[in-house]
Amino acid sequence: MPNLNRLLAGLPAEDYERLLPHLTPVTFSLGEVIYESQGLMEHVYFPTTGHVSLLYTMVNGATAEVGLVGNEGLVGIALFMGGDTTPNQAIVQGAGEAFRMKAAAMQEEFRRGGAFQLALLRYTQSLITQISQTAVCNRLHTTEQRLCRWILMTHDRVHSDDLQMTHEFISNMLGIQREAVSIAAHRLKNKGAISYARGRIRIADRGSLEECVCECYQMVRDEK
């Protein structure tokens, strides 16, 4: 169940079989850069057990994440949206496996206009919802709520209660200070929602996290 890409898995057998020869398994290692901002994109990636952050970097070096892609989607939507670069960076946030496909092969299948095209467009719509909700959430919700949301979203894409990530890393995703992450994490620890130490966060009580999180989490989840 976890070891597949849900977008691919939802295709009719006929379409899937046509794709199969073009799918190459690859391994994502933590922190690996899949796409550089403005860099040339040559493949799309269908994560299975790995997952990827879509990141923007400002001229002063500040960063913030706009979306998270796991086995529900694919990385590289610009390649069928009529571009060959993206303005954002894509980096591996959870190590694991993915299938890779050459841009040209993907585009050829996309142009057939069948179930594959539909699935890709549907996913893109749900990603738009995720990014939009992030925009609103960044403006209207507290650090603690946003941290909860991010942990829950990550948890949904990792098949474990143990997440490997430092406060520093999270601060770059949420676009906040490292210290602010430590403080918010400490509060969540006091509530019994999580525990953590040196680059490891354990989800102790998902229910507590769901109580703290803002509505944005459910909104995006329901859309899928």
Partner DNA sequence: ATGTTTATGTGCGTTGGCGCACATAATGTA
Partner DNA sequence: TACATTATGTGCGCCAACGCACATAAACAT
* Residue labelled with tokens 């948890």: 155
192 binds DNA (CB under 7 A): no
- The region of 23-31, 75-83, 160-168, 198-206 touching a copy of itself under the rule CB under 8 A is 75-83
Sorted by sequence, the CB contacts under 8 Å of residue 77 that are 6+ apart come out as 44, 120, 123, 124, 127
Helices (H), the chain: 6-9, 13-19, 103-112, 115-140, 143-157, 167-174, 178-190, 206-212, 216-223
* Minimum separation from the CB atom of position 9 to DNA (A): 34
Residue 144 interaction partner, one of DNA, a copy of itself, none, beta carbon < 5-8 Å per kind: DNA
Considering only residues 1, 13, 14, 113, which one is a binding residue for a copy of itself as defined by CB under 8 A? 113
166 binds a copy of itself (CB under 8 A): no
CA distance 110 to 131: 23
Give 54 or 184: the residue with its C-beta nearer to DNA: 184
CA neighbor of 86 nearest in space, from 29, 27, 37: 37
Residue 45 interaction partner, one of DNA, a copy of itself, none, beta carbon < 5-8 Å per kind: none
Count, residues in the chain: 224
CA distance 127 to 150: 15
* Minimum separation from the CB atom of position 62 to a copy of itself (A): 5
Give 132 or 164: the residue with its C-beta nearer to DNA: 164
Q: Could you list the residues that contact DNA (CB under 7 A)?
A: 142-144, 166-168, 175-180, 182-186, 189, 196-200
